Amino acid sequence: MRMVHSLFWLLPLLYKMCPGHAWVASNFLMTGPKAYLTYARSVQVGALSGAEECRRQFAWDRWNCPDSATQLRGLRRATRETSFVHAISAAGVMYTLTRNCSLGDLDNCGCDVSNNGKIGGRGWLWGGCSDNVDFGERISKQYVDAQETGQDSRAAVNLHNNAAGRMAVKATMRRICRCHGMSESCSVQTCWTQLSDFREIGNYLKIKHSQAQKLDIDKKRMRAGNSADNRGAIVDAFGSIAPTELIYLEDSPDYCRRNTSLGLYGTEGRECVQHGDGLTQWERRSCRRLCHECGLRVEERRTEVVSSCNCKFHWCCTVNCEDCAQVIVQHVCARREGGDGPGYRRRHRGPK
Ligand SMILES: *[C@@H]1O[C@H](CO)[C@@H](O)[C@H](O)[C@H]1NC(C)=O
Ligand SMILES: *[C@@H]1O[C@H](CO)[C@@H](O)[C@H](O)[C@H]1NC(C)=O
């Protein structure tokens, strides 16, 4: 179920507030903890867009942001991939709320005009509607970070990655300017800052994912057991890491293989692309990455699709069409004959 995926963290939140009646919220909206429900719908939309972007960014990776990645709440590990899920979800919520704010969807917030009228730089003044990211950031913190109730290193890592996701929203903002002056001579400009497309935030975080760092926590100190020591060890480990970077605790499992206890499907049966216009190098190598390097072969599948075509309009009023058959060729990873499944004759390892 697609929905479950992106609402993974929202559901328990709603249950906590309103056990047994999570979705019967209309009355509750008026009387319940307003801070939560005023924004619930926008938060939900933001979480969905985060999950959608995750699937798009990883469409041609061995790990393709499956629904299970976020369903197994209790079992989830803090891998490189879950760091991305956290960051993009937090960013999605911040992004949507910020947009809502600028569009006037919400009663209690609007554009950030705090600098308007001030000089921004040579030849330009602040003016117009700057996106109010501070508002979006605050709401995202309130909702998304509330999911991390633990005191352990995993909770600390998740919170760090949420914050890194929100920083990505800020880091990708652009300055937009408009010319003024005699017949648009542009002697004076007014400028404001604006969110990038969400796609760009996805691209940015995908790079951060590939550069993610493993958090090195002093295990001896952690084993000593008392919670002050634990927190100390965690704080020290974070000391060397920039707030913009994604971090993880555990190495990624082998995404080639199916592993039901981890909720992983493996790459058998996955589609890959080889030819086509406008493919990136990453896409063009997808068959190698998903099939060959996972010990699978590439199988060509031809499917005939019939659709209406050559439609003609006759006066008045009928439309006659012909049936046209079109053969669609797909490439899919399949088990090798005699091979014993994925991973058998692998040449490369690693969570690509
Ligand atoms: C916020 O924006 C999203 C789409 O970007 C929209 O679906 C949602 O309804 C908006 N929220 C409010 C309160 O208008
Ligand atoms: C699934 O993953 C777990 C944890 O990494 C591992 O112990 C187990 O052997 C794996 N199972 C299979 C069938 O690969």
The string of pLDDT tens digits covering residues 234-258 is 778 888 899 999 999 999 999 999 9
Six token digits for residue 39: 């924004």
Q: Which atom of ligand 2 is nearest to the CA of 261?
A: 1
Asked whether 211 lines ligand 2 (CB < 6 A), one says no
b vs e for 184-214, b when ≥16 Cβ sit within 10 Å of the residue's Cβ? eeeeebbbbbebbebeebbbbbbebbeebee
pTM comes to 0.81
d(CA 111, CA 108): 11
Nearest residue by C-alpha to atom 1 in ligand 2: 259
Q: How confident is the model at residue 119, as a pLDDT?
A: 93
Asked if 188 and 124 count as a contact pair (C-beta separation under 8 A), the reply is yes
Q: How many residues does the chain have?
A: 352
Asked whether 97 lines ligand 1 (CB < 6 A), one says no
List of residues 6+ apart from 329 with CB closer than 8 A: 300, 301, 302
Asked whether 64 lines ligand 1 (CB < 6 A), one says no
CATH C-level class of 271-334: alpha beta
**How close is the Cα of 104 to the center of ligand 1, in Å?**
10
Q: How confident is the model at residue 249, as a pLDDT?
A: 93
Asked if 81 and 102 count as a contact pair (C-beta separation under 8 A), the reply is no
257-311 pLDDT tens trace: 999 888 888 999 999 998 888 889 899 999 999 999 999 999 999 999 999 888 9
Q: Where are the domains of the chain?
A: 2-110+133-172+197-252, 271-334
With left for phi above 0 and alpha for psi between -120 and 50, is residue 117 left, alpha or beta? left
Tell me which of 41, 94, 101, 131 to substitute to probe ligand 1's pocket, judged by most ligand atoms within 8 Å of the beta carbon: 41
Tell me which of 29, 34, 42 to substitute to probe ligand 1's pocket, judged by most ligand atoms within 8 Å of the beta carbon: 42
d(CA 177, CA 271): 44
Q: How confident is the model at residue 219, as a pLDDT?
A: 72
Where the chain has pLDDT below 50, the residues are 1-32, 71-72, 74-75, 343-346
Q: How confident is the model at residue 90, as a pLDDT?
A: 95
d(CA 169, CA 138): 13
Asked whether 105 lines ligand 1 (CB < 6 A), one says yes
Helix axes 80-102, 153-171, angle to 10 degrees: 50
d(CA 259, CA 351): 14
Nearest residue by C-alpha to atom 5 in ligand 1: 96
Asked whether 43 lines ligand 1 (CB < 6 A), one says no
Asked whether 260 lines ligand 2 (CB < 6 A), one says no
Residue for token pair 């790459």: 267
Q: How confident is the model at residue 344, as a pLDDT?
A: 47
Asked if 297 and 267 count as a contact pair (C-beta separation under 8 A), the reply is no
Ligand nearest to the CA of 93: 1
Six token digits for residue 151: 């005191």
Q: How confident is the model at residue 258, as a pLDDT?
A: 93
d(CA 308, CA 325): 9
